[in-house]
Amino acid sequence: MRFAVRLILILLIPAILVALPWWTLVAAPSGGTGALFWIGSAVCLLVYLCLPAAMYFGHGPAQSDPAVIVGDISLGALWVLFSWSVLGLFARGALAVAGLDGVVAARAVAVGVLIVSVALIAWGGYEARRVPRVRTVDVALRGLAPGLDGLRVVVVTDTHFAALDRRRWSERIVEVVNAQRPDIACHAGDLADGSVAKRRAQVDPLAGVQAPLGRFYITGNHEYFGDAPGWIDHMRGLGWQPLRNEHRVVERDNDRLVIAGIDDPTGTGLPGHGPDLPAALAGADPALPVVLLAHQPKQIVDSAAAGVALQISGHTHGGQIWPFHYLVRLDQPVVAGLSRHANDTQLYTSRGTGFWGPPLRVFAPSEITVLILRPA
């Protein structure tokens, strides 16, 4: 039954993504006849047949990097075309109300959708591959002692090192992080997609991050799609401290702060893994403020109940490709930015430093975050 459901989704989702652009760009403007109709229909059919195959061979048991690249790029381009084809339907409606309908209106909409989509795909590709902009946010933290005023916590997350070789990009990330003079550096999960053997060359530059009060790492859901124990050990070998349902106390000018981290909820399928916030805070001085690394924003419910001062998360990518953030919002309480929750607990949700799947970012720019802690 589970296999049947997956097979239906693998065939149905590409069909929906292809069908509407086919109608908008091919069928409606051609009137269902002529060379445009037949050539365009053949191209759409080929895309529909190739996309599920590429996704299966890329993200399935074979783990083929060329298939990943083909499938992910196709999926991203289709999503952009689909989204703007939906808007094209509204444009057709507006033109009909204005008295312009039929093939002429369909062609005008098709040209508009195609131009906007191509421009956004090109721009989104540039945005995904560029070194992220630095986003600096002051966070007034309850209970923070004066000696920790101005503490700089630099956050990277969702790097998703994968089939596209981004070793040079990784090196540039380290340069930018170090330029921010972090007291503490954090990686909030989804480090890489694939095994340590296949992706370590891209991850290894992270050993160069310099943060005198500590470098901390937690798992995201994608570690558990691959080799979570391997990545935990590898990051430890690079000098980062994995926080697996545990905490550390950092100190400056005789004042202290608790840095805690918990596993991603997807880790429950692996023995000994899964989030355990009480274990993470066990033995911590209740008088000290807690900064918690938790990959998914929806973990804020437990954090607020436990009296955590600040939770740092990623996972959402800010939606990554507009308008996907509306779907993300159905699963997560926050898509991006600083927010306040129960018991005066704050949550910072990063849009992520890299990208997953399609190498595109449309209206959801990546970021390297500098959180500057201030006493409330």
Question: CB neighbours of 287 closer than 8 A, spacing ≥ 6?
Answer: 143
188 against 99, higher pLDDT: 188
User: To the nearest 10°, the Cα dihedral for 62, 66, 72, 77?
Assistant: -150
Instruction: Find the distance separating the first CA and the last CA of the chain, reported in whole Å.
Output: 53
Predicted confidence band of residue 10 (pLDDT cuts 50, 70, 90): confident
Chain-wide mean pLDDT for the chain? 95
State the pLDDT at residue 96: 87
User: What are the DSSP calls for 65-106, one per residue?
Assistant: HHHHHHHHHHHHHHHHHHHHHHHHHHHHHHHHHTT--SHHHH
Q: What is the pLDDT of residues 339-370, one digit of tens each?
A: 999 999 999 999 999 999 999 999 999 999 99
Q: What is the pTM (predicted TM-score) of this model?
A: 0.94
Cβ neighbours of residue 194 under 8 Å, at least 6 residues apart? 63, 161, 162, 163, 226
Tens digit of each residue's pLDDT (9 = 90 or more) over 48-82:
999 989 988 998 888 899 999 999 999 999 999 99
Distance CA 158, CA 351 (A): 8
* Exposed/middle/buried for residue 106 (C-beta within 10 Å: 0-12, 13-18, 19+): buried
CA 158 – CA 191 distance, rounded (Å): 6
Tell the residue number behind the tokens 């403007």, with chain if given: 29
- What are the structural domains, with CATH classification, of the chain? 1-129 (no CATH), 133-375 (3.60.21.10)
Task: Report the phi/psi class of residue 181: left, alpha or beta, with left for phi > 0 and alpha for psi in -120 to 50.
Answer: left
For helices 228-237 and 196-203, what crossing angle results, to 10°?
A: 40
Cβ atoms of 185 and 177 closer than 8 Å = yes
Instruction: Answer for the pair 196, 225: CB distance below 8 angstroms, yes or no.
Output: no
